Amino acid sequence: MLFKDVIGQQATKQHLAEMVEQNRLSHALLFLGKEGSGALPMAMAFAQYIVSLPQPAPVVEDLFGGMTALEPAPSFIHPDNIASQPAYQRAEQLIHPDLHFSYPVIPKKAGDKPTSADFIGEWREFIKSYPYGNVYDWLQFIGAENKQGNITAEECNDIIRQLNLKSFESEYKVLLLWMPEYLGKEGNKLLKLIEEPPANTLFILVAENDEQILPTILSRCQLVKIPLLENQEVEEALITRAKASPETARQVAGICEGNYREALQLLQHADEDWQSLLREWLNATLKGGPMAQVKFVEEVSKLGREKQKQFLRYFNHLLEQSIRIKVLGVDKLVLGDNERDFAQRLNKIASVSQQQGIIEELDRAAYYIERNANAKMLFHALTIKLYHIIQNKTLILMN
C-alpha cells in the first residue's frame, strides 16, 4: 500500500515523510483516528515504506582507526517513490520478514491460546479487501460471531520474542499493532520493550479511542492524529474507487461525516428507502398507536445489524440538517428535494432541543446495536422514548 492509496490526509503524509527525511523518527508512534478516517491504511502504508527503505552502507574500520562507509549513504526516498525498491513487493504482500502484525483474535476452539500468527492468512486477505474496515468487520471476517476479540498474553510474549531478533533484510523491524484498546492489562508486558526497544525497532500502534489504552503505553508513544476526511475527499473516492454516480457520492459524503467505512456501507444500501421507513416509524409513534408500533418494530428487527445502524444514521443526518435549517437559516447542498421537505417537516414536529434529545437517543441506540442488543427490545424502547420527547407536537408525515 502506497501513500497515494490512502484517501486524503495530505498533511499527515507530508509530516511522516519529513520525519524520515530529517531523521526524527520516534521508536513508538500512535496513529489515532476515528473509524473510517484511514488510520489503519495510513499506518500500513507507512510501515511498508519503512521496511522497504534500503539499508545504509556498512561501515568498516580503516587502517588508521577511523570508520569509513563502503558505499555512499543512500539518498532519501520519498514515500511516493518507494514502489521501485525491491523490498516493497514483499512488504505490499505483507510477507516481508521484518514487518510484523498484531491484532485482536479469538480462540479457534475451546482452550486455545491464539496469537495473531494463527490468523495471518485471513489478515492479509482482510487488508486487501477491507482496508477501511473496523474491528467489528475483522472479527466477523474471522468468524467470531458473538465472541470477544482480544490481544492475549501469549500474543504479547510472541511480540517480545519477535522484536528481540535481529532484522533480516531492512534497517528496521516494524510492529504494527492494531487496536491496542484490546490489550487490557496484558499490555503491561510490553511496557519495557516499548520504552527501551532493541536498536532500529519501530512500534506503530493504530487506535480509535485513546481513553481505552493503558496510560503507561500512551505516554511512551508519539501521537500522530488522523483527522476525519473532508466531504469532498469522500465524494471523490466514492466516484473513483467505488464507481458511484456523482449524485449518489455527493449525498453519501454528506451523511457519513468523514467516515469512509460508513460511506461504503451507505453506498451498499443506497437503494434502501430509508425515508419511507422513517415516515412509517414516526407516524406509528405519533399517531398509529401500539399495533402500528409493534408492526414497525417487527419490520425493522429483521433488517440486520448493519442496516439498522444505517437507518438510525440516516435519521440522525436528517435531524442535523433540520437543525441547520432552523438555526442558521441555510440548507446544505447535500439535501435533495425530498430530504429538504422531510427535514422541514421535522422542524414542525420538534424544537431544536427536542431534536438534539432524539439525536442523543439514536446515537445511544446505535452503540447498543454494535454490541448485540436485542433489536426488538431496543426499537420498542426507542419508540417510547421518541414519543415522550415529542408527544405534544405531532404531525403526520405525508408523502
Starting at the edge strand found earlier in the chain, the sheet holding 28-33 runs 99-102, 173-178, 201-207, 28-33, 222-226
Chain segment 129-160, per-residue pLDDT in tens: 999 999 988 988 998 877 788 888 899 999 99
| All cell numbers assigned to 126 | 482482510
Q: Are strands 59-61 and 67-69 parallel, antiparallel or unpaired?
A: antiparallel
Which amino acid makes up residue 294? V
Q: How far apart are CA 74 and CA 170, in angstroms?
A: 13
Q: How far apart are CA 214 and CA 116, in angstroms?
A: 20
**Mean pLDDT highest for which of 107-111, 281-285, 306-310, 330-334?**
281-285
| All cell numbers assigned to 276 | 419511507
DSSP 185: G
Whether the per-residue pLDDT at 123 is higher than 90: the answer is yes
Whether the per-residue pLDDT at 333 is higher than 50: the answer is no
Q: How far apart are CA 265 and CA 261, in angstroms?
A: 6
Whether the per-residue pLDDT at 90 is higher than 90: the answer is yes
Cα of 153 vs its chain's centroid, Å: 25
Ranges of each domain in the chain: 3-227, 233-268, 274-390
Whether the per-residue pLDDT at 399 is higher than 50: the answer is no
Whether the per-residue pLDDT at 70 is higher than 60: the answer is no
> 310 near 272, Cβ under 8 Å?
yes
Residue 150, helix vs strand vs coil:
strand
Whether the per-residue pLDDT at 61 is higher than 70: the answer is no
Whether the per-residue pLDDT at 66 is higher than 80: the answer is no
Whether the per-residue pLDDT at 310 is higher than 70: the answer is yes
Q: What is the pLDDT of residue 75?
A: 74
Q: What is the mean pLDDT of residues 185-189?
A: 82
Identical fold for domains 3-227 and 274-390, yes or no, is no
Which amino acid makes up residue 351? S
Right CATH for 3-227 from 3.30.70.141, 3.40.640.10, 3.40.50.300, 3.30.70.660: 3.40.50.300
pTM over 0.85: no
State the architecture of 274-390 in CATH terms.
Up-down Bundle (1.20)
Q: How far apart are the first and last CA of the chain?
A: 47
Containing 342, the helix (H) or strand (E) segment is: helix 337-349
